[in-house]
Structure 1
Amino acid sequence: MQSALVDAWKKLDDLGDDVLRNDPEALKKINDFDAETGGRFDELGDEYMNTPDPHKKGWVDHLEKRTVDGKVRKAGDNADKFKSFDTNDKVPSRYTDDSRFDELAYDPAEGKIKPETRQEAMAGLEAESQGLIDGPISPGFLK
C-alpha cells in the first residue's frame, strides 16, 4: 500500500500539485482509480490541474464514480446519505454551486423544485461535466 501511495504522490508531484499530495485518503483514491482503469489518471491531469484548489478534494472524491469508456465504474452508492433531496442542502455542492441548478431543477408544471427534479438536474449536470452530452444544458433538455 505504501508504494501505491508513493506512486500517486509522484503523479500529483509531476502535475505540480501542492493541494492533495499530503492527503493519504486522496492519494489512495487516485491510486485506486489509476489501478482500476489501467493508468487513466494521467489522462485527467489537465482537468485536475484546471480545477480550482478549493474543489480539488471533491474532484478526487468523485473519481470513483467517473465513467470510463462509456461505463459507470461505481454506481452512486450514497443513497443512504441523501435519503431525500427535499432541499438543496442535501444536494452535493458540486451541483448546487452551478448557477443553473435551481433553474434546471424547477418543475414548471408544479411550480416548484421537487426531489425528483433535483435528481434530474444533478444527472444532467453530471453528464455534461463528463462530456457525455453537449452543454450547456438548459431546463428543456432535461424533460
Structure 2
Amino acid sequence: MANNRLYTLLTYCIAMVWMANGLFCKVLNLVPRHEQIVARILGEAYARPLTLAIGLAEIGMAIWVLSRIKPRLNAVLQMAVVATMNTLEFFMVPDLLLWGKLNAFFAFLFVLLIYYHEFHLRAFKKL
C-alpha cells in the first residue's frame, strides 16, 4: 500500500517537473535562460520556435507520464532525453546553467528517480 502511494506521488512529481520546465520555462518564457541555451546550441535564428517546440514536447512528456501508457518506454525515453540534454549543456553552455556543471549531478539524480519510480517501485505496485 505504501509503495502504491509513493509510486503515485512520484508519478505526479515527475510529471510536474516536465510541465513546469515545458510550460513556464519554455512556452511562457518565464526563464529566458532556456531560450539562450537553445540559441547557443542550435542557433539564434530559430531559438524561439525551437524553444517553444521543446517546451511543447516537455508538456507532452508530462501528459504521457500521467497517462501511464507504455510506462517503461516512457521512462527509458525520459532518461535518455535528460541525459542527452544535460550532456550537451554540460559541454556547450555550462555558463548558462543554473548551477553550472553541477546541473549534471541533479540531472543524474532525476534519472535515478525515474529509474527507481518505474523499474523498482512499479514492480511492487498492484496494477
TM-score where L is the length of structure 2: 0.29
From the two aligned structures, give the one with the greater helix fraction. 2
Bigger-Rg structure (1/2): 1
From the two aligned structures, give the one with the greater strand fraction. 1
TM-score where L is the length of structure 1: 0.26
